[in-house]
Each structure stands twice: as structure tokens, then as C-alpha cells.
Chain A
Amino acid sequence: MIWEQIAANRRRSALLIAILTVLLAAVGVTIGEALAPGGGGFIGLAVALLILVIQYAIYATQPASLFLLGATARELSREDSPRLFNIVEEMRLASGLSFMPRIYLIDDPAPNAFAMGRGEKDSIIAVTSGLLYRLNRDELQGVIAHEIGHVRNRDVQFMTLAAVLLGTIVILSEIILRSMRFGGRMRTRSNSRGAGQAQLFILLIALLLAILAPLLAQLLYFACSRKREFLADACAAQFTRYPEGLASALEKISAAPRVSFANRATAPMFIVNPFAAQGGTHGLFSTHPPTAERIRVLRSMTGASLRDYEAAFRMRTGKSLIGQQSAQTAPQASIREPSPEGPVFSRQSVRDTSYRQQGYIPLHCACGLNLMVPPNYEQSEVRCPRCGARLPVPAAVHEAAPPARDSKSPRPSSKLRYRRHGTSWESFRCACGNTIQLSPLFAAPQVRCPRCGSIIQVI
């Protein structure tokens, strides 16, 4: 079961963290001894721990925030895009997550997807608009399943922790190497104390560690990142029971242009490496395994369970992913039939969702032109640029107030009302200028404006 594989994975992860921590401690102690001989080792260790804590506080305790990416992302609710919401909910059920991840849409023609969040409770899955209109249902399901696999395996927290450790090691090594440049002064000091040879020896070790530790830590970090990607692929195959879905999605994504807003820190979270060129520089310092290899493994699977993924992985790469033992405990699962649905979203509908999210109001003129009224448009009417007709901007209006009873009445006496035209998507302006949308599923008698808080009755 997934739980057992996660447990086995956790043990291996703990091992990696332990190795990195030992490396960090070694670097800390040797710097300390090198710079302040005779007891400086403890100071060095303390300094190392301090830097680690500061780094952790800066990077690992932030709430999941998409501003880190510098992309324009908007949260989608169930009403905004019921089909995408359904796909994510299906994968949540298949993976056994207790909480539903939040879904964000990023306006970018390059297809990609990623997962963020510090735990099951505040996990986020973001997709680009380019992803939505290129993939069919099975492929989209595969991508979402891969991201939910990341959430389930707690990859984001793990990679953040590993990154923090790596960062601290790099900083400490920098400190040693920098201080070596002023080494002349140090050595004379130590010679004057008479420590001599032992001191030199420690200096040598410190130097060696300063060069090798960051390298080793980086190799471990990237190897781990690659392994996690394979594991997420395996989870996706198990959840969807259809590995070909993810395989063809990966094909489509890697053939398309890359996203523009990624930076090195966030690269591990994407489904396909946003930095690799089409040919791909895939080596020891790559966060993702080569896409072609991932596709090959997925296509060699004879069943849909983790066991089958392990077998396919072994066949294609000659290495083991989660070990024969833990793979055997995964339940049997056979591959299902592909679903007949084609592309889930058209370019048009994705663009409409995007515009709706930003607050545009769509208007249809009788001459056939479709207009998009921007969110900050202040007048109550729009002129059609083609035929010149005046179209009223849908807005909530104050109904006639009942005769005033008492000037000291605490409540405002007029109510805002909006009349619906039908049962499809409708947008209108609140009195404060904010755009409010009603989805086809909206059935309540009133809605509250998120900006000014006034209540508008919907008739």
C-alpha cells in the first residue's frame, strides 16, 4: 500500500537528511578548529546550527505562496471550472488524501504544472492555461495524479529541508574558503602559539571539506530530486490505473515551449524541468530525470501498480527505485481502458475562465461582436466599436427605498438588487465597482461583495 511505500521512503529520506546533517556538522567543526584552534570546534558547530536555523526560518516556514514564482496565478473554485475541480477531486479520492488541494490557474501558454504547500492541509496544485487546452482527459488526469503524488509523498517539505541543509553547507564552505585567502595572518598566529603541525592538518581537512562537501551535498540533493520525480510518476500510474495517460502528457509537455517564470529555487516543483532545452542537458545536476526515460518506463509497465512500475524501472534503467521488498507489498492493479473524452478545455474556454477571474464582464452586442468590459471601467454604458450601439454594463442597482421611518435607523434602507438573465455565467458590477460573477450552479438568494461587503439580492 502507498502508506508502506511512503514509510520506506521516509526511512531513506531520513538517511539522506542524516548524511547531510553529519556533513554539515563536520564542516562546522573543522572550520571552527581551523579558525580558532583549541576549542573552536564547538563554536564552529554552534555557528553552523545558527545559520541552519536562520535559513530554515527564512525558507521553510513560509506559507505556500505563489508570489515566490512571480507568476500571475488565480485560485479556481469549484464553480469556476467544475471539470478541472472534478478531475482533482477524483485524484484526491484515488490517493486517499484527507484534504482537497487548492487549485490555481496560471496564465502562460507553456504547459506545466506543479505542487506546493507545507502539508496535506494547505497543499496547492497549479496548472498553466497552456496545459489545460493541450491535454485530453486521461493526460490531464495523469498530470494531476503526479502532482498529488508529490503532495502525498510530502516531497515539497522534504526538498525544502534538503535545500536548506545544502544552502547552509554552501555558506559554511564559502566562509572557510574566504578565510583561507587571508590565511597568511592565521598561520602566523597559529605558529606563534606553537600548535604547528596539527593546526596545518586541520586546515587541510577544512579546505578539503570546503571543496568537497558542497559538491557531495549537491549530488545528493539532485539525485534525491530525480528519484522523487520517478516515485511521483509511479504514484500517478497507480492512482489513474492508466500509465499511458501520463506518458503522452509528458510527451506533449516536453515538445512544447517552456514556462518563462521559473527560477532555480522553484524548478524541482514543476512536472517537467522548466530549464532543460528540448534536447536536454541531463546530468548529475539536473532536478528532473530525462523526460524520455520517464516516458519509456511508463510505457513498459505491464500493470498499473507500484510493483509493475518497479519492474519496468528495473528493466529500463537497471537500477532499483523503491526496492523489490517494498514493491512486493503493493496491491495488484491492472491497466484500465482509456476514456473516450477528448480535450477537456478549448483555448476559448480557458481564456474565458482567465478573463472572468480577472474581473472582465463579457457583453454580446446584437451585431455579433463579443466585448470584454475591463474591471476598472467606470461608466454604466459601453459603446460597441463595430455598430456603435450603447450597451448597459450589468450592475446591481438600488431598488427604491421604502418610506424613511426614522433618521436614526441603523440599517440602510435601500437594497441592492440584481436581476439574472438566465442560468448561465453572468457578471455584474457592485456599487463599489467590484465585479461579481454568478456561475450556472449559483442558487442562493443573495451574494456578498468581497470588496465592500454589501449584500446584493439576486432575483
Chain B
Amino acid sequence: MSWILFAILAVLVLIALWIVGAYNSLIRLRNQLENAWAQIDVQLKRRYDLIPNLVETVKGYAKHERETLEKVVQARNIAMGAKTVGERAEAEGLLTGALKTLFAVAEAYPDLKANQNFLALQEELTSTENKISFARQFYNDSVMAYNTRIETFPTNLLANAFGFGRREFFEIKEAAVREVPKVQF
């Protein structure tokens, strides 16, 4: 009789060990995810900080492009106010589109293009865009690993019990360029 008890005990111990291991790995994956999001956040904030300076510089040279500038400022404000990951992704897509339009428009102003400040800002914004895309890549990889983990059997039982929810991907879809920039001859 006693060996049956022993066997049951051994099985329970094994299950407990598995629970501990799986729970820890879920925590690790979630922390990696959140860390990755924080990294994206840092880069996005950097972009927000650079934009006011850019708008001021462009204003000095291209007074007639008020619409484009306003779009950029609006998009920035929306992005700064976004709450969920999905909202944020959409707002960032708008902002990226608006910035692209702004830089396309700035091509028509040679004085602006020669301005050191503008060039430095353009370089900084381009490199920030690159960093956002790599940080996003890592975040999405982490999300995928985490989602796969909490949805596959048997870990999904654990995930439901402890409240590990599915996370969203961060996909920035750039808003299409709606206007053709005016070219002056």
C-alpha cells in the first residue's frame, strides 16, 4: 500500500516542480516583454522631444507650409495621449506619415536644407526611426514568444489560473501620403 502513496507523492512533487518552473518562465517572458516596451517608449519619447525644435526651425524658413506643420504637431499630441498599445501604434503611424510629408516638403526649400540645425535634427530623427523599428522588432518577438507560451497546452492552464493575459503586437502602419508635395520652379 505504502508504495502507491509514495508514487502519488512523487507525482505531486513533480507537478509542483513543473508549476514552479513554468510560472517562473512566464514571469521571465513577461518581464522581458515589458522591458522591451520600455525601450520602445524611450525612443518614442525622444522623437516627441525632437519635434518641437524641428517645427520651430521649419517655421522660420517655410511659413507657407502651415498645414503640414500643424498636422505634425497634432499627430504628436495624439500620440502622446494614447493609452493602449493599439492606440499608440496607430498614433505613431500617423506621426511617422506626417514627418515623412514634412521632410518631403522641406526638399523644396534650399535654405532650410542648408541649415545645420535642421540637418542635425533630420539625422537624429532618422536614426530614432531606425531604433524604434529595431526596438519594435524585439518587442514583437517577445510578445510572440509570450503569447505562444500562454496559449500552448499545458502552460495555458497555469496562465489562466494566474492571470497572464495575451499581449498585443505593436505594428506601426504608416498613414498613406495624401497630398503630393508642391514643387516650386
Q: Give residues in A with beta carbon < 8 Å to B.
A: 1-4, 82, 86, 89-91, 93-96, 98, 239, 241, 329, 331-333, 423, 440-441
Contact = CB atoms under 8 A, between A and B. Distances in A.
B138 A331 contact: no
Contacts of A3: 28-29, 32, 145
Interface of B: 28-29, 32, 35-36, 39, 43, 116, 120, 123, 127, 130-131, 134-135, 137-138, 140-142, 144-145, 148
A181 B90 CA distance: 78
25 contacts: A1-B141, A1-B144, A1-B145, A2-B141, A3-B29, A3-B145, A82-B127, A86-B127, A86-B131, A90-B131, A93-B43, A93-B131, A93-B135, A93-B138, A94-B134, A94-B137, A96-B32, A96-B39, A96-B142, A331-B140, A331-B144, A331-B145, A331-B148, A333-B141, A423-B116
Contacts of B141: 1-2, 331, 333
B142 A90 contact: no
The secondary-structure label for the interface of chain B is helix
Contacts of B130: 86, 90
Contacts, number: 55
Contacts of A86: 127, 130-131
Contacts of A1: 29, 32, 141-142, 144-145
B148 A329 contact: yes
A264 B120 CA distance: 44
Nearest to A241: B137
Contacts of B145: 1, 3-4, 329, 331
- Most chain A beta-carbon contacts within 10 A, residue among B36, B43, B120, B127: B127
Contacts of A93: 39, 43, 131, 134-135, 138
B99 to A, nearest CB: 18
A416 to B, nearest CB: 26
B154 to A, nearest CB: 15
Given A1-B144, A239-B134, 12 more contacts: A1-B29, A2-B141, A3-B28, A82-B123, A82-B127, A91-B134, A93-B134, A94-B135, A96-B35, A98-B35, A329-B145, A331-B140
Contacts of B135: 93-94
A432 to B, nearest CB: 31
Contact of A441 (B28, B120, B138): B120
A367 B127 CA distance: 38
A118 to B, nearest CB: 22
A111 B127 CA distance: 25
A329 B151 CA distance: 13
A89 B131 contact: yes
Contacts of B123: 82
5 closest Cβ pairs, A-B complex: A1-B145, A94-B134, A331-B144, A93-B135, A93-B134
Nearest to A96: B138
